[in-house]
Amino acid sequence: MHTKPLGITVSRHILDNQHLHPEATGELSSLLIELIVAAKTIAAEVNRAGLADILGQAGKTNVQGEDVQKLDEYANSLIKRRMSRCGYLCVMASEEEADIIPVTEGYEGKYTLAFDPLDGSSNIDVNVSIGTIFSIHRRRSVNGQGEETDLLQPGRNQVAAGYIIYGSSTMLVFTTGQGVDGFTLDPTVGEFYLSHPDITMPERAKYFSVNEGNTIYWDDRVRRYIDYLKAENRPTGRPLSGRYIGSLVADFHRNLISGGIFLYPSDRKNPAKPRGKLRLLYEAAPLAFIAEQAGGRAITDDGRDILDIEPEELHQRVPLIIGSKAAVDVAARFMAGEEPEA
């Protein structure tokens, strides 16, 4: 069996694993390697974020008199700029942009990229983990510039998805459909090394992550499920411990490594957003692909698999329940109106 040696660089790992995809031409590998360069640049900027007051704040100029961008705008324009002429994409979409993002003419390739440049924006200014999420599909159109329909594909069609978490260390976690691997950035040399090969999500959840401030806006099924998680029942591991960061990437990452369930159900808080808060293309679908590849599960609050949803629009929102398989299975029963006895 092919082993994944701890400590190899992410580029080496990507090239070594190309043989798992017999049809591979190397373009997806090159695309990922290019994206990782963008991620490292964002990581470096995130680490300097606390110096905003000294170096300048968004909308102002820094001590050198240069314009300073907000970190999420910075991440967005950096990914756009770098990926637009990488030669492997035909179109992109970003959570920060209303419309599709064309690539530089003459550089069109066969993949699409959807991304959340900086997830957890409310945590940027308070030194709490944030992240970048990406999702890659093969185009549907044949050549030239890609179209919106190239991006509006179900998560099941993803060829790769991943995230970079800017936390106590910077980590890259991704899948190309052959399991999930995690890499840790050594900032002194600017290289990601394989630190978490073949990540599997613990089947049972230790943590639940939900914004309980929304309790009064939830429907009964969600309220009852959260009450169930908090009720004492030692044989089924309850009560669970509560952990909610408010950065999806960070909440998901903790649950991926330690076992847990994250919920952002639809609620009555904003009737204009009946489908929850999180976005299908930039947040839910890529994390659902990772969860499934790691043995977990991701559903909406009507029990459908996130990966099976056919997107209708770029910025579509979706209720999300994601995490350890056993916990999501029980959540699915609650959402269907059934309740386990214990």
Q: Can you give the binding site for ligand AHG, defined by CB under 6 A? A: 95, 116, 119-122, 211, 246-248, 277
Residue 207 burial (10 A CB sphere; 0-12, 13-18, 19+): buried
| Neighbouring residues of 286: CB distance < 8 A, sequence distance ≥ 6 | 114, 133, 134, 135, 155, 158, 161, 162, 163
b vs e for 58-93, b when ≥16 Cβ sit within 10 Å of the residue's Cβ?
eeeeeeeeeebbbbbebbbebbbeebbebbbbbbbb
Residue 120 burial (10 A CB sphere; 0-12, 13-18, 19+): buried
Q: How many residues bind Mn ion (CB under 5 A)?
A: 3
Q: Is 251 in the site for Mn ion (CB under 5 A)?
A: no
154 binds, among ligand AHG, Mn ion, none (CB under 5 to 8 A by kind): none
Q: Which of residues 57-96 bind Mn ion (CB under 5 A)?
A: 95
Q: Is 119 in the site for Mn ion (CB under 5 A)?
A: yes
Is 181 or 267 the residue whose CB approaches ligand AHG more closely? 267
- The pair phi, psi for residue 281, each rounded to 5°, is -75, -35
CB of 120 to Mn ion, least distance (A): 7
CB of 217 to ligand AHG, least distance (A): 10
Is 155 or 265 the residue whose CB approaches ligand AHG more closely? 265
Task: Please check whether residue 55 is in contact with residue 62, taking contact to mean a CB–CB distance below 8 angstroms.
Answer: yes
Is 29 or 132 the residue whose CB approaches ligand AHG more closely? 132
Task: Please check whether residue 247 is in contact with residue 128, taking contact to mean a CB–CB distance below 8 angstroms.
Answer: yes
CB of 282 to Mn ion, least distance (A): 7
155 binds, among ligand AHG, Mn ion, none (CB under 5 to 8 A by kind): none
Is 192 or 252 the residue whose CB approaches ligand AHG more closely? 252
CB of 185 to ligand AHG, least distance (A): 21
- What's at 87, amino acid-wise? G
Is 109 or 323 the residue whose CB approaches ligand AHG more closely? 323
211 binds, among Mn ion, ligand AHG, none (CB under 5 to 8 A by kind): ligand AHG
The size of the chain, in residues, is 342
Contact residues for Mn ion, defined by CB under 5 A: 95, 116, 119
